[in-house]
Structure 1
Amino acid sequence: MKELFIAVLALLISNLSGCATMIHASDSNSAARPQTLYETHLIDAENGTALSVESLVQRIASADVVVIGEYHGHQAAHLLQSQIQSALYRQQPLQVLSMEQFTFDNQPAIDAYLSGKTGETEMIEDSSAWDNYRASYRPLVEFARQHGLPVIAANAPAAIVRCVGRTGPGYLERLPAADRAQLPDNAFMDTPAYREKFTAAISSSHGAADDAMRKRMNNTYKAQLLRDNTMASRILAARGAHPGHQIVHTTGTFHSEGHLGTVAMLRQRAPEVSVTVISPVVWPADEESAPFYENRNNGDFLYFIQPLPEEFLDEEREHKAMSARFRRPAEDTCQGDST
């Protein structure tokens, strides 16, 4: 049972990184329902005005950091990211691509590929790229490679994140000094609104929690904060390494929605940096979804997308799949792991 809980919690936090908000169709006069899974409809979140990609980038060309939230694996989100990346480049060719989808311990593998020392499959293997790299992120990296732009592996190392989630934030103190030095100062910096959002998301899936579950949930939250603070730190380091460049950062929308997560950490660490947030909103399949004006604060700009198909309708099959997906390898251990 404990293994199932861990699998469910792990899947939930994975999904939190890319979950999307629903909108009531009748509350937006400027957008129609997207007709395909590739289609997006952009709007200004302040007033609901419909925008083209070109008109959007004219408004955000001067931003220091542009954060494009995504619903992981959604074709429309990834197509829009590529369109914004190239359109922004035409406005501001000094550009850096920063990605949640790679961890910073794999930066050498990214750099080797960009410099022509390795091929794509070698890079994918060496960087532990996500399974959907070719379908979702190849266009972004290839645009950067073809134009000689830096690509920043922004996320925290997966093994460290997993161990913080299992054993708590104290795990960082057991790391070798050289490993700890690569992580950001104040690695678990937080905001009350983000904790509230995270707690609400967890509670909606798991209901009331006992003390043991609350401890595991808190550790999972700390792992989430480690990701956010690491990404914020890496973005700021990229700004220092590439003065005058605009940073385009791709991430699951939970890390940026509502200007929380990574965005809030950016603002706490560097208040002078201007950040624009573009967030996905899933067009509703029914009439029970939250209205537009309740979601307008999710970002500076929103884009509507179709919902993806349900993965499972059979709960037993879903539980088996989650358990298999997050089963811990025999060699995957944490120092002092008591779970």
Structure 2
Amino acid sequence: MKPLFASLLLTLATVTGCAAVPADNIPARPGSQYDAVVVAAKNDTPVTVEELARQLADTDIVVIGEYHGHHASHLLQARLQQALYRQNPAQILSMEQFNLDHQAAVDAYLAGTTGETEMLEDANAWDNYKASYRPLVEFARQHQLPVIAANAPADTVRCVGREGKAYLDRLPEAQRSALPQQAFLDTPEYRDKFIDAISGSHGTEQAELSGRMLNTYQAQLLRDNTMAHRMVEALRNRPGHQLVHTTGTFHSEQRLGTVAVLEQRAPELDITVISPVEWPANEADMPLAKHRHKGDYLYFIQPMPREFRDPEREREAMQARFGQRTTTNCD
């Protein structure tokens, strides 16, 4: 399943009752699954997309976390991309949703030498591309903006998930050189978050992260580090540009994952993280206080329909999705 973290992200975003923004600042609840309410986490101030773009005009990298397939996430991304462009037309679009080994296919489409269906086939695009990511790519194409296929090659990620990070040593030089030299940078907080998501055993000692779970974690780190490497590379190749990066919120919320290793690689860059938070219909107050740490800005959206009611089936599905079950040949 290509949107690997769809269920994970929805599970992690479960909201409990908590303090609301001040009464005179409370915005209207999202009216539909297309709507989003954006709030600056540092001062609890609601902002429009245009106001947000003005506040971010001088930011080097704007990371917009998403729940894969959520209408509100993708609509917000498209609106903010356009609003940021109006502030600074020197823009780069970077996407988790394309892998770096398909950069040529994306470039060919942007250049007009292939059609959309050809690009979708050649780039092995996600199944929800047309509904979720087409507006972003089309805006970039129409305005002649670069689109960075930021994620690690899927086959390489799967093989690391099977065999661990030593698999990279067996790659041909051309494939290895496209990946970051330091491909497995991480932080203890992210490791704990990953373990908690997979096994529900928060606080597991490092020694217990071994075997298949360790390999799976290293596959996750390869994604994060590759995306960070590709973003830094894109900005160094295009000085003065602003980069907008779309990614599953697990990779970016709390400034962990991709954002944490991005900060390690290029501490001079100014990075803003925008994270989604679900606001259930049965909660009167905006659930801000408990989630403020997830981003510099939060956007509140209606929950997606619940995928599972049976905890055991949910756990099995999560383990299967992270387990990298595939017929990929790693020899």
Q: TM-score, normalized by length of structure 2?
A: 0.89
* Structure 1 residues 11 and 86: CA distance shift in structure 2, 3 A: closer
Trace 1:195-206 onto structure 2 (pairs within 5 A). 195-204=191-200
Task: Give the Cα–Cα distance (whole angstroms) in 1 for the partners of residues 116 and 197 of structure 2.
Answer: 37
Aligned-pair CA distance for 1:144 = 0.1
Contact 1:97–1:249 (Cα < 8 Å) also in 2? yes
Matched, 1:186 2:182: yes
Contact 2:64–2:273 (Cα < 8 Å) also in 1? yes
Partner of 1:27, secondary structure, is: coil
Root mean square deviation of aligned Cα: 3.1
Q: Which residue is 1:4 aligned to? A: none
Matched, 1:24 2:24: no
Task: Give the Cα–Cα distance (whole angstroms) in 1 for the partners of residues 223 and 167 of structure 2.
Answer: 15
Contact 2:95–2:151 (Cα < 8 Å) also in 1? yes
Matched, 1:216 2:209: no
Which digits, 9 at most, give the CA deviation of each residue in 1:101-154, with x for residues without a partner?
000000000000000000000000000000000000000000000000000000
Q: Which residue is 1:305 aligned to? A: 301
Matched, 1:170 2:170: no
The letter of the residue matching 2:171 is L
Aligned-pair CA distance for 1:191 = 1.1
Matched, 1:101 2:97: yes
Q: Which residue is 1:253 aligned to? A: 249
* Structure 1 residues 70 and 324: CA distance shift in structure 2, 3 A: closer
Further displaced range: 312-321 or 123-132: 312-321
* Structure 1 residues 322 and 171: CA distance shift in structure 2, 3 A: closer
The structure 1 residue matched to 2:278, chosen from 255, 279, 282, is: 282
Which digits, 9 at most, give the CA deviation of each residue in 1:36-73, with x for residues without a partner?
00000000001111110011111111000000000000
Q: Which residue is 2:121 aligned to? A: 125
Aligned-pair CA distance for 1:314 = 6.5
The structure 2 residue matched to 1:154, chosen from 150, 158, 179, is: 150
**5+ long unaligned stretches in structure 1:** 1-6
* Structure 1 residues 307 and 17: CA distance shift in structure 2, 3 A: closer
Q: Which residue is 1:77 aligned to? A: 73
Task: Give the Cα–Cα distance (whole angstroms) in 2 for the partners of residues 156 and 24 of structure 1.
Answer: 38
Among the aligned pairs, what percent are the same residue?
A: 59
Q: TM-score, normalized by length of structure 1?
A: 0.87
Contact 2:279–2:303 (Cα < 8 Å) also in 1? yes
Q: Which residue is 2:33 aligned to? A: 37
Which digits, 9 at most, give the CA deviation of each residue in 1:228-276, with x for residues without a partner?
1000000011001111110000000011101111111111011101101
* Structure 1 residues 249 and 21: CA distance shift in structure 2, 3 A: farther
Task: Give the Cα–Cα distance (whole angstroms) in 2 for the partners of residues 31 and 78 of structure 1.
Answer: 21
Trace 1:2-17 onto structure 2 (pairs within 5 A). 15-16=7-8
Partner of 1:281, secondary structure, is: strand
**5+ long unaligned stretches in structure 2:** none
